[in-house]
């Protein structure tokens, strides 16, 4: 019996990452934090959507990701889940949600999956997170690890700087990545590390590496959508290539609309509702005053 091929591309699940790596196929990941953005990103064919705590910077206007709460992450993940049907949805575990004991971390991760609709969670840290990753994986929670520049550690690191620049630091990062793979992580983000180090990690691991500012050797590339489309403010990192200027498009649209309103051109007759044919308004009666 012949089966018709579905119109929609096949849903992306966690095992698809390892399969793509084995075949040498590159995958792509973008951030999304709401329903319309998730729909656009998903329908464009992106393989993974990261509901990132980067929402602190690009949505809430915080100076870093630290103030982002679990409730904010839950709300964003729910919206993204409603907008995406194909991409694998990964939710960031925000600062403080996995720092006060494994049991609490498991409960918070379960909330992101059960209530938020995430299909995996991401957390930052190297060897200090190995036991937690093991615990989460044992509880059937897929985990994406994150090493290199870990934005939740911005105060400890002294800013957003390239990591693993020395031979000793690179050795530690490579060991961390290996330990996280052994703990059960299905993928690992490499952020702001030298491309040579990222290439070594990619070749050493069986799981996928997800690069952001880490060169082209990584198995997957991820970017913050707002950086990609020019919907942010201030100086962008060197690794960001801007493919559109959405801020300019929005500004031009608002400016044109304001001009049309002030000139009387908006709304015009075709954009307004009139009375049905045959209906006429009589002159309102003047109020009688004594």
Q: How many contiguous H segments (helices) and E segments (strands) does the chain have?
A: 11, 8
With 0-12 CB in 10 A as exposed, 13-18 as middle and 19+ as buried, what is 271?
A: exposed
Residue 1: the pLDDT is 44
pLDDT digits (tens, 9 = 90+) for 102-152: 999 999 999 999 999 999 999 999 999 999 999 999 999 999 999 999 999
Residue 281: the pLDDT is 75
Q: Which residues are catalytic?
A: 191
Residue 275: the pLDDT is 77
Can you tell me the distance from the alpha carbon of 164 to that of 259, in angstroms, rounded to the nearest whole number?
53
Please report the domains of the chain, with CATH numbers, ordered by start residue. Answer: 15-228 (3.20.20.60)
Can you tell me the distance from the alpha carbon of 41 to that of 45, in angstroms, rounded to the nearest whole number?
7
Please name which of 203, 221, 204 lies closest in space to residue 212, comparing C-alpha atoms.
221
* Residues 64/151, Cβ–Cβ less than 8 Å: yes
* Residues 135/109, Cβ–Cβ less than 8 Å: no
Segment 200-217 shows an average pLDDT of 98
Q: From the CB of residue 21, how many other CB atoms can be counted at a distance below 10 Å?
A: 20
- Please state the pTM of the whole predicted model: 0.91
Can you tell me the distance from the alpha carbon of 56 to that of 103, in angstroms, rounded to the nearest whole number?
26
Q: For residue 201, report the phi and psi dihedrals to the nearest 5 degrees.
A: -60, -45
Q: What is the band of 288 on the pLDDT scale with cuts at 50, 70, 90?
A: low
pLDDT digits (tens, 9 = 90+) for 236-283: 888 999 999 999 999 999 999 999 999 999 998 887 787 787 777 777
Q: What is the band of 9 on the pLDDT scale with cuts at 50, 70, 90?
A: confident
Can you tell me the distance from the alpha carbon of 277 to that of 204, in angstroms, rounded to the nearest whole number?
76
pLDDT digits (tens, 9 = 90+) for 258-267: 999 999 999 9
**46 Cβ neighbours under 8 A, 6+ residues apart:** 28, 29, 30, 87
Segment 40-59 shows an average pLDDT of 97
Say whether pLDDT at 43 is over 50: yes
Say whether pLDDT at 41 is over 50: yes
* Residues 53/65, Cβ–Cβ less than 8 Å: yes
Q: From the CB of residue 218, how many other CB atoms can be counted at a distance below 10 Å?
A: 24
Find the angle CA(122)-CA(128)-CA(134) to the nearest 5 degrees: 60
Residue 3: the pLDDT is 46
Please name which of 123, 126, 139, 213 lies closest in space to residue 171, comparing C-alpha atoms.
126
Segment 169-183 shows an average pLDDT of 98
Question: What is the pairing mode between strands 120-122 and 143-148?
Answer: parallel
């Amino acid at each position: 019996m012949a089966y018709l091929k579905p119109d929609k591309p096949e849903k992306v699940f966690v095992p698809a990452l390892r399969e793509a790596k084995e075949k040498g196929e590159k995958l792509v990941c973008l951030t999304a934090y709401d329903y319309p953005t998730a729909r656009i990103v998903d329908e464009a064919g992106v393989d993974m959507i990261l509901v990132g705590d980067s929402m602190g910077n690009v949505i809430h206007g915080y100076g870093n990701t630290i103030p982002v709460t679990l409730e904010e992450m839950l709300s964003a993940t729910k919206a993204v889940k409603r907008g995406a049907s194909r991409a694998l949805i990964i939710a960031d575990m925000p600062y403080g949600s996995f720092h006060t004991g494994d049991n609490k971390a498991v409960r918070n991760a379960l909330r992101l999956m059960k209530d938020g609709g995430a299909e995996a969670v991401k957390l930052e840290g190297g060897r200090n997170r190995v036991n937690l990753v093991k615990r989460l994986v044992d509880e059937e929670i897929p985990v994406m690890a994150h090493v290199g520049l870990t934005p939740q550690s911005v105060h400890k690191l002294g800013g957003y700087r390239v990591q693993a620049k020395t031979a000793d630091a690179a050795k530690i990062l490579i060991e961390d990545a290996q330990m996280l793979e052994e703990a059960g992580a299905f993928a690992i983000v490499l952020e702001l590390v030298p491309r040579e180090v990222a290439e070594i990690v990619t070749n050493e691991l069986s799981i996928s590496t997800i690069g952001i500012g880490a060169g082209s050797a990584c198995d997957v590339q991820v970017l913050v959508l707002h950086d990609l489309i020019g919907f942010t403010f201030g100086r962008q990192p060197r690794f960001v290539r801007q493919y559109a200027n959405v801020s300019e498009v929005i500004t031009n649209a608002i400016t044109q609309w304001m001009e049309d309103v002030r000139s009387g051109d908006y709304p015009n007759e075709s954009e307004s509702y009139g009375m049905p044919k045959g209906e006429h308004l009589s002159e309102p009666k003047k109020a009688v005053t004594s």
